[in-house]
Amino acid sequence: MFCSSSSTFLSNMLKHKKVLIVLDDVDKFEQIEFLAGNHEWFGNGSRVLITSRDERVLQNGNVDSTYEVQQLVGHEALQLFSLFAFKQSSPPEDYLELSNRVKSFAKGLPLTLKVLGLFLHGKCKKRWQSALNDLQNTPYMEVLEVLKISYNGLDHNAKEVFLHIACFFRGEPKTDVERILGSCGFSTDNALCTLVERALIVISNFKVDMHDSLQEMGREIVRQELVEEPGERSRLWNPKDICRVLENNMGTKAIKGISLDMSKINNSVCVDPTAFSNMDQVKLLRLYFGHRWYNTSYSEFPKKVYFRQDLESLPKKLRYVRWDCYPLKALPSNIYSENLVELDICFSKIKRLWTGQQNLSSLIVLRVQECKRLKKMPDFSGALNLQIIEFTGCEMLPEVSPSIKYVKNLKELDLSGCQEIESLPTTKGLRSLTKLTLLGCIALKNLSKVSKSIEELDLEGASIEKVPYCSKLRSLKKLDLLGCSKLKKFPKLSMSVEELCLSHDHEHLYRSLEQSHKNLDLSGLKILRLLHWNELGNILKTNLGRLRELELSQSSFTDIGSIKDLSCLESLIIIGCTSLQLLREFPPRLKRLEARNCTGLQEVTDSKFALVETPVRLLDFKVDFSFFNCHKLNEDARRSVPSHAQQMIRIFSQEALKQLTRVSAITQSPLVLYRYHIKQITLRYFLMLSCRVLVEEMKFVLFILEMKFQIGSIVEAQDLRLPLSCLVICVIESSWVLFFALLLMTKPCSY
């Protein structure tokens, strides 16, 4: 929902300015209304450009004129095709005729030219001719048919993976796609590489994605298996189709996978108890709630799927099962078979999993989350290949099954939020265990011997009095002791520990640290997080020569003292330290300084800001100095941040460095922005919050880069190459749900 006060702020800010606004990929009329309500919002000569795939959005928005983007024609289309087919801007002479035929088939659509170019790259003329003949036989060729030629050239495994991604997994993390489809018997590594090479998918930010047209092509291939009968198709993803099949028992052997986002169902669905009896080929079953329910509590989840009586059975060949809010007390017993690879149950009324010893030899991942009625763990002696076990938020679970000691391949055990568990069986024999999470196990008093292979041990909030044998855990890299108020003595750590989280919740622990600091060896630490620390005392006087990140949260000290001797420190994060008044003497390698909600902070010394004398070799890094809600900063401190920005830009320009990425400032005072004498620089962030007065020396050009709906997100214009003397400024108002960037341009400058 858009905020009307933000619209008013926008209109008032831009009313007398000549601006160019670009709204990209608009899909709702309300977006236009919120961002560009009417002509009176902007000064004379302003222009608003809107792109949309839905012409009705533009019609409802009362735009002055519309322009339909034309397809590539002539040499432009041929050039684009050649770049992908031949890796050069024009085709070889002997391929010119064939290339022109491809161009005519593609009808100037860039995606089609790209896909066909990659498909034909490196192939002989005979293969080209064969492909063109296939296209020639489609007299009324649609775009999807052209794209399909690349799909037809895939092997069976790659085709199946492509269709699964198009129907179920677009936008999902790559690791999840690999694991889930791997559990279904597909060779995912080879398939994903092939699909990327053919431009049928992309891997971006560790997620698997694809173009809308390619997803539509994949789904259309599945729809065409039997248009009128969804129960006869190989994959079901459309909520209406799935509800129809489950309610009316229309499933058949043709179905291989079902993925239902229950947040898209308007009404509850009553599932026939025999609904799955005929779907004996289903390997993937996912009934889940989408992203908008991610942070929802147990009681708030709507009950979308229910049964009038117990579910009789589930398909025996199931490999992957995820079922959010499963409404019954137990799953059908036949689900627990040697075929099952991953089981994910959350927010369920389930009271038990399997009983007795079951043959679950293929089970690798077991996730049980927020199942408040679960009172007993199952017997793991028949599931010896488990690698990940999670029982999180199962508040009534009283103990861990002793049979867990037989799971020799176990890598991760997570019992977060299991508030009734008082003790943990020894994990000494679990030689593959690398991660043990006991976050929020408030009743946990005793911790038996831990596997020597452990790398991450999270005990936050546990009631343990001691951590046994820490010095013998030679593989331990991360230890979290936040909120361990009963801990009486600080454990002796192995040199391998790189990350340590502590809170000053009990006098015993603090006294132990103060007394032993001279003999305390923290020389291996790279990350130190301290919570509720009333005074830093001697902890920073220990050997912290390798420390790279220091985080101080909700602590009551007024001065952290000098940290200039922390020669490797790159990141200093201070959150909610309301008594802190002074920051001084920063170490030379500091890349990131973030002070958030430090409402008492008044002074920041200039020693770090005077970077002109810093050796150039130390400047090849990303820079991020941010102050959020630090409203007591004095005038010198407020001036130091923009001054720092000018110095850094000047240095990076002089040394031909292009890595400055973000500078942040918060002030309620007038902020003067100067013209910078630079020719070219990559700048991703210049963040300003609550800057009430802005002294203008530049013209404003407004670009809408991206819309976010979570307070606190920041727009990032990655790899934005700016012309002469340009800055990108992100302006964020705390009440907004829209984040946008202002591009401030000065007149061209020269040296």
Q: What is the CATH number of the domain that holds 100?
A: 1.10.8
Q: Write down the pLDDT at residue 511.
A: 66
Res 676 pLDDT > 80? no
Query: Rounded mean pLDDT of 515-544?
Result: 77
β-partners of residue 324 are 346
Residue ranges of alpha helices (H) inside 507-630 are 507-516
Query: Rounded mean pLDDT of 696-703?
Result: 29
Torsion angle (degrees, nearest 10) of CA 486, 489, 495, 501: 30
Asked whether residue 503 is assigned to any structural domain, the reply reads: no
DSSP state of 721: B
Split into its structural domains, the chain has a count of 3
From 578, 536, 574, select the one nearest 552 (Cα to Cα). Answer: 574
Q: Name the phi and psi angles at 573, rounded to 5.
A: -120, 125
Asked whether residue 407 is assigned to any structural domain, the reply reads: no
With DSSP H G I counted as helix, E B as strand and the rest as coil, what are the percentages for the chain, rounded to 5? 30, 20, 55
Q: Write down the pLDDT at residue 252.
A: 94
Clarify whether residues 24 and 94 are in a common domain: no
**Which one is predicted more confidently, 495 or 299?**
495
Asked whether residue 560 is assigned to any structural domain, the reply reads: no
Clarify whether residues 78 and 131 are in a common domain: yes
Clarify whether residues 87 and 133 are in a common domain: yes
Structural domain of 13: 1-69
pLDDT per position as a tens digit, 342-398: 999 999 889 989 888 889 999 999 999 999 999 999 999 999 999 999 999 999 999
229 contacts 259 by C-beta, under 8 angstroms: no
Cβ neighbours of 84 (radius 10 Å): 17
CA dist list (Å): 429 to 29, 102, 223, 433, 628: 61, 63, 51, 9, 48
Clarify whether residues 65 and 85 are in a common domain: no
Among 152, 179, 197, identify where a domain stops: 152
Cβ burial 345-380 (10 Å sphere, 16+ → b, else e): bbbbebeebbeeebebeebbbbbbbbbeebeebbbb
Share of the chain above pLDDT 70, in %: 73
Among 133, 152, 171, identify where a domain stops: 152
Clarify whether residues 185 and 197 are in a common domain: yes
Clarify whether residues 120 and 172 are in a common domain: no
| Greatest Cα pair distance in the chain | 86
HSE of 544 in the Cβ direction (CA atoms, 13 Å)?
25
418 contacts 392 by C-beta, under 8 angstroms: yes
Q: Write down the pLDDT at residue 455.
A: 95
Q: Strand pairing of 603-604 and 47-50?
A: unpaired
Q: Which two tokens stand for residue 636?
A: 């010198």
Asked whether residue 344 is assigned to any structural domain, the reply reads: no
pLDDT-derived band at 550, boundaries 50, 70, 90: very high
C-alpha of 217 from chain center? 27
Q: Residue 536 class from Cβ within 10 Å (0-12 exposed, 13-18 middle, 19+ buried)?
A: middle
Q: Write down the pLDDT at residue 54.
A: 66
SS3 484: coil
Asked whether residue 650 is assigned to any structural domain, the reply reads: no
pTM: 0.72
Query: Rounded mean pLDDT of 17-42?
Result: 77
715 contacts 24 by C-beta, under 8 angstroms: no
Clarify whether residues 177 and 216 are in a common domain: yes
Among 40, 69, 98, identify where a domain stops: 69
Asked whether residue 331 is assigned to any structural domain, the reply reads: no
Clarify whether residues 143 and 78 are in a common domain: yes
Clarify whether residues 79 and 142 are in a common domain: yes
pLDDT per position as a tens digit, 442-483: 999 888 888 889 999 999 999 988 887 787 888 999 999 998
pLDDT-derived band at 514, boundaries 50, 70, 90: low
170 contacts 209 by C-beta, under 8 angstroms: yes
Clarify whether residues 4 and 63 are in a common domain: yes
Q: Write down the pLDDT at residue 128.
A: 86
Q: What is the CATH number of the domain that holds 178?
A: 1.10.10
HSE of 332 in the Cβ direction (CA atoms, 13 Å)?
20
Residue ranges of alpha helices (H) inside 137-200 are 143-152, 156-164, 174-183, 188-197
Q: Write down the pLDDT at residue 504.
A: 76
Asked whether residue 587 is assigned to any structural domain, the reply reads: no
279 contacts 299 by C-beta, under 8 angstroms: no
Res 285 pLDDT > 90? yes
Q: Residue 388 class from Cβ within 10 Å (0-12 exposed, 13-18 middle, 19+ buried)?
A: middle
Asked whether residue 14 is assigned to any structural domain, the reply reads: yes
Q: Name the phi and psi angles at 20, rounded to 5.
A: -115, 120
476 contacts 503 by C-beta, under 8 angstroms: no
Task: Supply angle C-alpha 204, 209, 215, rounded to 5.
Answer: 160
23 contacts 36 by C-beta, under 8 angstroms: yes
